[in-house]
Amino acid sequence: MFTGIIQSIGKLKPKKNILEIEILDNLFDIAIGDSIAVDGICLTVKEIFQNKFNVDVSEETLKKTTLGVKSNLNQIVNLEPALRVSDRLGGHIVSGHVDGLGTVENIEKLEKSWLLSIKWKNNNFSKYVVNKGSICVNGISLTIAKYEQEGEIFTIAIIPHTWHNTNLNKLNVGDNVNLEADALIKYVEKLLFFNKNPNQDLSSNNISSEWLKENGW
């Protein structure tokens, strides 16, 4: 479990059958077997060196996330160790299970912040996009400033601290990012549909005002 508060950045270094990550700043305690979020992807530490650690990455993860491309380009990734029970929940609940990819549509520099617009690729992701709701982008807990339902685009406001201390400042228009919806929304969705049909595939459903009326809300 994570909170989406990035503690360090690292550099990917692909090796045969594994992925090595060099921690570039803010070293943190880490042990073999620990879970760590790498650009929002929950991975398990396999080996540890002075300022590096290795992880195994499955074919599925390389296929469904940005790691498949980034690992071959020695790119920068966001790092967050797993949440301790005593830690502050500074962001929101993040599982490290990526729901899909998004594409950077626009980056706008304002006087005191940046606006980052992202188009989601998974058609079923739109039901999890809520105005002023939480979303995880490359492992970062962020708040949706606005969204366009028809264009499938949401915009987030980035403060200077987040911009300068994560890999968001490395993004360009057209780049892909990892997206994870708020876990609470997904649990609520599951509960709402479970009583109607426990075996129903949720991916094909959309909660609408008509659906809520039909079910007594």
Specify which of 63-67, 158-162, 185-189 reaches the highest per-range mean pLDDT: 158-162
Provide the pLDDT confidence category of residue 88 given band limits of 50, 70 and 90. confident
Co-location of 36 and 110 in the same domain: no
How far is C-alpha 161 from the geometric centre of its chain's CA atoms?
A: 18
Q: Decide if 55 is inside a domain.
A: yes
Q: Confirm if 45 and 53 have CB atoms less than 8 A apart.
A: yes
121 vs 168, higher pLDDT: 168
Q: Give the residue-averaged pLDDT of 88-111.
A: 92
Q: pLDDT (tens digit, 9 = 90+) per residue, 168-214?
A: 999 999 999 999 999 888 888 777 776 666 565 555 556 666 766 77
Q: Give the residue-averaged pLDDT of 3-14.
A: 93
Co-location of 71 and 105 in the same domain: no
Query: Do strands 114-120 and 134-137 pair parallel, antiparallel, or not at all (unpaired)?
Result: unpaired
Total tally of structural domains belonging to the chain: 2
Q: Which residue has the tokens 């077997």?
A: 33
Q: Which domain holds residue 71?
A: 8-81
Is residue 44 predicted with pLDDT exceeding 60? yes
CATH of residue 120: 2.40.30.20
Co-location of 60 and 111 in the same domain: no
Q: Decide if 167 is inside a domain.
A: yes
Q: Decide if 71 is inside a domain.
A: yes
Is residue 16 predicted with pLDDT exceeding 80? no
Co-location of 113 and 59 in the same domain: no
Q: Decide if 35 is inside a domain.
A: yes
